[in-house]
Amino acid sequence: MLPRWIWDFVKVVGGDVVADVRGWRFDVVGPRFLARPSISDVTSPCPEKRDVWIRRVMRMKIDSDLFVLGRAVHEVFLYPFRRRYDSLWDVLRGFEKLLASFDPLAKRYKEQFVKLFRKSFAFALYSVEEGIPISVEPMIPAASIGLSDFVKPDLLVGFLPVDISLASNEKNFERKELALTGYALAIESWIGHPIDFGVAIYVNLFTEPMLTWRIIRVDDSLRRTFLEMRDKVAMILEHPDEPPPVSSNCPQSCPYIEVCKK
Ligand code: SF4
């Protein structure tokens, strides 16, 4: 389903990725704490990870408009892949139902979602025709590397993890790099085979091109950064009576601003 140039990049331009921190090196990547965060905990937007503490310890969850829209983008993109072996009629009917189930905020973007659906449907049909193995939100065991029992990348193309997000988050590219690194480590620990790349797809609802693709080389620097962040979050969860400080650099889109700044 991926554009041809991505495979060419991986084969020809990507070269060898130098990495010692592999998912099967349990002496290096094994858990250091009893608490095991999820990938979204490790890659949460709060610089202090206070949002993880609010969600997991205070058990408070607040959705922002951006989260609602991001979730809808995910569902629209993934829908044709989930239903790729169904009849055309069933897929189209199901897509109408999916749109009807959206939050009123997301429904305002119906025109853009139809356009996104057409593109994604084309990729899904192509993958079926070409026999490309794809899993949608597969459950990959991750406890052995100190994460939640399972992690779920949006797509697995062969063993290449793919992450989809709303393009307004592109400035948070670092977080996507870390998420794909976490998936790569989990897959490595699961199958014992190196995963050197991941792909981030950004969906631009209002500009062209609608889809932007970025390839991430999962090198040792990213792997070590991921493990440091994993341990920072695990330590927060293991000491619930010690809330992380309020950040001095809160992203404006953080839904917990009202909670933290009152
Ligand atoms: S408001 Fe600031 S400190 Fe609180 S969770 Fe959000 S980013 Fe973190």
**pTM of the entire predicted model:** 0.94
Question: Which of helix, strand or coil describes residue 47?
Answer: coil
- As a whole number of angstroms, the longest Cα–Cα distance in the chain is 55
3-state secondary structure of 64: coil
251 CA: nearest ligand 1 atom: 7
| CATH code, 45-241 | 3.90.320
Instruction: Report the separation in Å between the CA atom of 238 and the middle of ligand 1, taken as the mean of its atom positions.
Output: 19
| Residue 3 confidence class, pLDDT cut points 50, 70, 90 | confident
End-to-end CA distance of the chain: 47
* pLDDT per position as a tens digit, 228-254: 999 999 999 999 999 999 999 898 888
78 contacts 89 by C-beta, under 8 angstroms: no
Ligand 1 centroid from CA 35, angstroms = 21
Q: What is the pLDDT of residue 14?
A: 67
Distance 120 CA to ligand 1 centre (A): 34
**Is residue 175 scored above 60 in pLDDT?**
yes
Q: Which atom of ligand 1 is nearest to the CA of 260?
A: 4
C-beta atoms surrounding 252 within 10 Å: 5
CA of 255, closest atom in ligand 1: 6
pLDDT tens across 43-98, in order? 999 999 999 999 999 999 888 888 899 999 999 999 999 999 999 999 999 999 99
* Ligand 1 atom 8 nearest Cα: 46
Q: Tokens at residue 164, please?
A: 């989809």
The predicted structure's pLDDT at residue 135: 96
Give the residue, by CA position, lying nearest to ligand 1 atom 2: 250
Closest CA to 99 of 85, 110, 89: 110
Residue 122 CA to ligand 1 centre (angstroms): 39
Distance from Cα 43 to the centre of ligand 1, integer Å = 14
Contact 119, 210 (CB under 8 A): yes
Confidence of residue 167 (pLDDT cuts 50, 70, 90): confident
Q: Which one has a higher pLDDT value, 6 or 35?
A: 35
Greater pLDDT, 252 or 171: 252
Q: What share of the chain is helix, strand, coil (3-state, %, to 5)?
A: 50, 10, 35
Where do the domains of the chain lie? Answer: 45-241
For ligand 1, atom 1, the nearest C-alpha belongs to: 257
151 C-alpha to center of ligand 1: Å?
24
Question: Rounded distance, CA 122 to CA 89, Å?
Answer: 15
Ligand 1 binding residues, C-beta < 6 A: 46, 48, 50-51, 246-247, 250-251, 254, 256-257, 260
Beta strands in 167-233 (DSSP E): 197-203, 211-217
pLDDT tens-digit readout, 110-163: 999 999 999 999 999 999 999 999 999 999 999 999 999 999 999 999 999 999
CA angle 206, 207, 213 (to 5 degrees): 115
87 or 14: which carries more pLDDT confidence? 87
d(CA 47, ligand 1 centre) in Å: 8
Q: Which of 260, 261, 262 to mutate to test the pocket of ligand 1 (most atoms within 8 A of CB)?
A: 260
Nearest of 239, 217, 50, 204 to residue 115 by alpha carbon? 204
**Integer CA distances (angstroms), 12 to 102, 140, 182, 198, in order:** 42, 28, 24, 16
- Which amino acid, residue 22? R
Instruction: Identify the pLDDT of residue 15.
Output: 67
Buried-state track 139-148, b at ≥16 Cβ within 10 A, e below 16: ebebebbbbb
